[in-house]
Structure 1
Amino acid sequence: MSIIELKVPVIGESVTEVTLSAWLKEDGAYVEQDEAICEFESDKATVEAPAEKAGKLIWVAAEDDDIPIGGVYAKIDTSVSGGSSESTPEVKEEAPAQEEKTEEAAPQEDSYAAGHPSPAARKLMDENGLTAANIQGTGKDGRITKEDVLKAIANKQAAPKKEAAPKKEEPKTVAAPPVSGAANFSREKRQEKMSRMRRTIASRLVYAKNETAMLTTFNEVDLTNIMKLRKTYQEDFVKKYGIKLGFMSLFAKACAKVLMEMPDVNAQLTEDGKNLIYHDYADISIAISTPTGLVVPPVHNVESLSFSDIEWKIKELAGKARSGKLTLDEMSGGTFTITNGGVFGSMMSTPIINPPQSAILGMHTIQQRPMAVDGEVKIRPMMYLALSYDHRVIDGSTSVTFLVKVKELLEDPTRLLLDL
């Protein structure tokens, strides 16, 4: 018997531990070299681990186990060959019987992953009361992906409810209300292990609150001209570039322009806190909400991109984030962050810095409000802006000036387009 150990590889420069989120091959199964056998979830991405040699797979770690980089998670018995975990003579004896099996026996040959949900898919299934029996997996080896669950949820919501109406007329008596104090209320509770991403988010938020001198300054912006610009040129923009002109590209471009003028807001402290790193580019991280948590992949060199380039890049990153396909490179970097709580209806909030960055801009919902304009009261589409910043790097006057400059560009987008 020849046994080799499989160890967790180096996944990222700052990653010291991963979670074995799912086994793709059953314990004792025969695996080919380079065949994906499990998935690791780090604080940045989910990656598949391949078999280093062909042979019989022996589990060492279980799903949801936390394993350090370099830790052993499985073994492979390379003495086993022929696509079976059994010895060679027994394989030969069983071979004729396998050839005589009918097509009805085929489902027994399915992969262990068939009908097994990914971590993100499992979470969605639990939240929506779905089971694996309700969903057809389209992932690798029949694995249930997040997209499969989202499709099942959509089908469930879209399903006609024709039988619901007649049933309302069937009861001829009205049931008495439950007696006060009756045991009709659920008192159950459950405990679930936090995902690797959620734990990382939690630790980073605590770090940002405890280890930075964070303050927030607020302002409001009149989006009348921005909305007029989008309404006037949206159709032509879509025809030419194949994508809509959204608010995010305009905000990102405005921030990038001011960041180039005010490098302090675009700077970062070194790990020892003794030096500042300045950037001659604006890599703006865009906060994207996913079923497993918030991710902030950066759009690189926003200062040099066109509005259509920014929109396409944001769309690409958002799609990958929600399907769990962001790579480590796509998650790395960023000199400034923009988060839009307005899509969830937030009127005003205090965003938390995304370390090691020194500032983050929070966008909020647009509200029609009465404003004094040239001595007259007019109804205008207004948005509150919030800039949270690390006071160790950015002075109060600098933060206020930055926010005012962004506000001016957004209220007069012609200056933004003409680079004035």
Structure 2
Amino acid sequence: MPQTSAEPTRTTPAPLSDGERVPLYSPEFAADPQATYRAMRRRFGSLVPVDLVPGVPATLVIGYRTAVEILNDPDHFPADARMWEREIPDDCPVKPMLCYRPNALRTAGAEHTRYRQVTVAGLAGVDLYQLHSRVERIAMPVINTFCADGSADLLSQYAYPVIFTTMNAMLGVPADLGERVATGMAQVFEGGDTAVAGAQMFEDALYDLVLLKQREPGDDITTRLVQHPVQLNDEELMNQLLTMYGAGIEPMLNLVLNTVLLMLTDQRFAGSLLGGSLSTRDALDEVLYTDPPLANFCMTYPRQPILVDNVWLPAHQPVVISMAACNNDPAIGSGAFLDNRAHLAWSTGPHGCPAKSAAYLIVQEVIEQLLDALPEIELAVPVAELVWRPGPFHRALAGLPVVFPKSPPLPMPF
């Protein structure tokens, strides 16, 4: 999508001083990202010079149409980071999230096609009807651990254990490996000082999972990856699993919490908890527009300098799509979220999420199990007291404390 134009152009991010790049890692950005996106748009237009962490520049795409063009142009904007990472130290906290990996998310061309067909085949074996029942069987006992207390933190006591256990069941992961995966993955997403060590812990646990399924196959996604006719090697298998976990637990966890928060604080949805007209799916779609769990992601790396929207993007430097900003671009936004699923929360183009149907089902079921069991649930603190976790990629609450009338344990129907 190279352009020519008589209008003045600028280059990002190379010539800009640190003071001219917007930090995506600050608590201030985490607390009110939409205000930052609006300020970005006024100052920079559709392409913004940012720092992912101190000293790691990137270009953030906040224009919807520009993002769609980039995401559908893998020839000019491949997802392969190998040239970029040559200049990045190993202890860089965002390197584990951005670096090349032999999987469908971080490759281009024929290599990407090869990995994606294995991933799609592994996911295709998931029975959505059985998945619905599985989430119910997992969620109800978890609710019973706190329903008699009258209060809970929905992050640590509900959403995390339910999402995590569901993903482990889909992938065929035993509990001991699952704990190692969870700890390592959380450190990677935080992007802090422990990110590199967390990435190593994450990878080691997944290698052990591959070896386990080679010895003891089962009816699970990992086994289908291991047995696929393409015959990926152990490193490739580990990296497909890494993508599934990374795209599964943290984003779904944040989507559950962000959606519950909307439903508890917006009267259009709060009324529906006790019989109103708007559904959980309506709330999900609105959150995917306004507060997507992966706010800034879908990294690409131009093969050569390229002119986009009168900005020269340097070769091999990260171009990051802000799904949160693009979805709310005034150039396309009507404010009509319900029954409108043209958002970028699942990405689009050759790297669009292949697990969208399963993710929708899981998140919706996790929310509805909670609200069916505890229909009078309310926030335990004012919205302004909720804390959002800093980080360049996610839109994530540090906790979601709630209160509700104490309830006896739910009867188990199975």
Normalising TM by the smaller chain, what interval?
under 0.3
* More helix by percentage: 2
Larger CA Rg, structure 1 vs 2: 1
Higher relative contact order (CA 8 A, sep 6+): 2
User: So what's the TM-score if we normalise by structure 2?
Assistant: 0.26
TM-score of the two chains, using structure 1 as the length reference: 0.26
